[in-house]
Amino acid sequence: MARATIQDWTDSIVLLKYDQHRDVRYLVYRDGDTNFLEIRGDDDTHVHTLELPDGMKLDRTSYEVLLRYVLLDVVAA
């Protein structure tokens, strides 16, 4: 099975803690039977790629909520 785009690159400003924010771009795609959420910084540097659980195909607002939690975890690490 080939790679297929579920949601093309989307720009987003993600609010973090204490009035901080992060400008990112994200892509949601399927590779084989697995969905992925790929996050890149506004300078196109790779931030994180998250494997989404089976059957998790959400709408744009849900992906952005997921982005915030992933970024909070990445920033805390």
Domain ranges of the chain: 3-76
* Residue 71 DSSP one-character state: H
Residue among 76, 2, 67, 74 nearest 34 (CA): 2
For the chain, what is the mean pLDDT? 82
Burial of 39: CB neighbours in 10 Å, binned 0-12, 13-18, 19+: buried
Q: What is the pLDDT of residue 46?
A: 93
Provide the 3-class DSSP secondary structure of residue 43.
Answer: coil
Residues 41-59 have a mean pLDDT of 82
More confident residue, 55 or 50: 50
Average pLDDT over residues 51-67: 74
The pLDDT, as a whole number, for residue 63 is: 78
Q: Please say if the pLDDT value at position 59 is more than 70.
A: no
